[in-house]
Structure 1
Amino acid sequence: LRLAVETHAITSHHALPLLLRRPGGLVVEVTDGTDAYNRDHYRNSFFYDLAKTSVLRMAFSLGHELGPRGATAVALTPGWLRSEMMLDHFGVREENWRDALDRVPHFAISETPRYVGRAVAALAADPDVARFNGQSLSSGALAREYGFTDLDGSRPDAWRYIVEVQDPGRPADVTGYR
């Protein structure tokens, strides 16, 4: 909880006065899972669940506090992230990540860290970003909104895929989700 919740609060405490010096600031709280998904799904353990939902609530609360002062706060979740740690866990690299699909078929919906980075860049460049103030967003939904792609040119929509394919136990098939 100290690393997953307290760090967000401490960062906000010190960074928000700087952000508020000029109108138009943006706070992006990165978490795992959208508000809609996490509201109805238990996330691995009590502490993990609490941490991820707390960050969602932070963005919601900061939106209320920052909006009237000309700034925007959002929560953003990547999908199934092909981070270095995940690639190491599956014994693959970015160049051959699909080799892990024999063991973990739903990894087919995964995305690179750059995809969520492009989501942040799109939000930061949007002069109307305040329309998202206090909301929970995903990289896949923002790719549809802004038109950016992952490194391979695809647009993985992991959270829709997780709800519609993975959680109901359907076979891995990213058709229409990538």
Structure 2
Amino acid sequence: MDASPLTGRIALVTGATRGAGRAIARELAAAGAHVYCTGRSTRTQGSDYDRTETIEGTAELIAEAGGTATAVAVDHRYRSQVESLIARIESAQGRLDILVNDIGGEAYVDFDVPLWDYDWEQGMKLFDTGFVTHLITSHAALGLLSRTPGGLVIEITDGTREFNARQYRSTVFLDLTKTAVDRLAFAEGHDLKDRGGTAVSVTPGWLRSEMMLDGFGVTEENWRAAAEANRGREDAVPPYDFVISETPALLARGITALAADPQREEWNTRSTSSFELAQHYGLSDVDGSRPDAWSFIAALDSSSADEIDIADYR
């Protein structure tokens, strides 16, 4: 295979500060794309996430690996900032080939709170950050992206279309946010089809991001042992099903393979997962495994942990 299959392509990855967004930006750049990395956290001004990662840090990691990236501070909740970003890309590059919308908003979730008790401002902050940012960015970017046949839009969500159709995602605001992102990809795919473009909804599995590791108080060295120790325990931290977790690299590798696939239009309007992409393109996570998180979680819903062999799902 061509080591740089995306040479000449221009990509925009939103939420590229950390986690999946950072990994996706790095993989796209490693494949030859010029990647615009956006987010709110910079060296001079952080976000309310209060994390140390920055968009400059992402761009530097790409440059150190021999890739090309441009870090731009953007709050995608504001149309004016996003429109200025797209105008900048158009002026500098004259095209946009790949858009990855990866702003999640999970930091604003209050789990298991019924709608009538949910703080309205907090709920709308989740919805605006996790969904409206995607809508604003696509509205501004798809005119430029659709000028060149072969454009690709990736909407990152949580849960496959099939899984979310039968599962309630803990709170109304979270449930609507994640299912709306998937529906956005479905709708965008219809708009882009006649322009030779493709839109796909993609979910990671149990994502082992920096924030998740810190939230559970574990490290990349001990996360699995900590999760295994909680087999059969209710409300344990980390929960037992964290044993099926994956690094952001698995999702990033699958998206990059999809972007490089000349037959990617076959995925248009679909919902897929990091596991399905890895299986289709013959990819694995950094440890050589291929975690099938959504099948594992579904199996746990119908069987006890002692009846399931984790090896069957990695």
TM bracket, shorter-chain basis: over 0.9
Query: Where does 1:46-61 land on structure 2 (aligned, <5 Å)?
Result: 46-61=172-187
| 3-state secondary structure, aligned to 1:33 | coil
Equivalent residue for 1:126? 261
Equivalent residue for 2:140? 14
Which residue among 204, 208, 217 is the counterpart of 1:78?
204
- In the TM superposition, what is the alpha-carbon distance from 1:170 to its structure 2 partner? 2.2
Equivalent residue for 1:115? 250
**Bigger share in helix:** 1
Equivalent residue for 2:241? 106
- TM-score after normalising by structure 1: 0.95
Q: Contact 1:25–1:72 at 8 Å: present in 2 too?
A: yes
Give the Cα–Cα distance (whole angstroms) in 1 for the partners of residues 304 and 278 of structure 2.
Answer: 24
CA deviations on 1:91-118 (whole Å, 9 max, x unpaired) are 1111222132123221111000111111
State the Cα RMSD in Å.
1.1
- In the TM superposition, what is the alpha-carbon distance from 1:44 to its structure 2 partner? 1.0
Q: For residue 243 of structure 2, what is the amino acid of its counterpart?
A: A
Q: Contact 1:90–1:100 at 8 Å: present in 2 too?
A: no
Which residue among 147, 159, 174 is the counterpart of 2:310?
174
- TM-score after normalising by structure 2: 0.55
1:158 aligns with 2:284: no
Structure 1 gaps of 5+ residues are: none
Give the Cα–Cα distance (whole angstroms) in 2 for the partners of residues 173 and 44 of structure 1.
Answer: 27
Equivalent residue for 2:273? 138
Structure number with higher relative contact order (C-alpha < 8 Å, ≥ 6 residues apart): 1
Pairs aligned (count) = 177
Give the Cα–Cα distance (whole angstroms) in 2 for the partners of residues 82 and 169 of structure 1.
Answer: 24
Q: Contact 1:62–1:134 at 8 Å: present in 2 too?
A: yes
1:97 aligns with 2:223: yes
Matched-pair identity in %: 55
Give the Cα–Cα distance (whole angstroms) in 2 for the partners of residues 100 and 10 of structure 1.
Answer: 40
Give the Cα–Cα distance (whole angstroms) in 1 for the partners of residues 310 and 207 of structure 2.
Answer: 15
Spell out structure 1 runs of 4+ moving beyond 3 A.
Answer: none
CA deviations on 1:37-56 (whole Å, 9 max, x unpaired) are 10111001000000000001
| 3-state secondary structure, aligned to 1:5 | helix
Q: For residue 242 of structure 2, what is the amino acid of its counterpart?
A: F
- In the TM superposition, what is the alpha-carbon distance from 1:119 to its structure 2 partner? 1.2
Give the Cα–Cα distance (whole angstroms) in 2 for the partners of residues 136 and 148 of structure 1.
Answer: 18
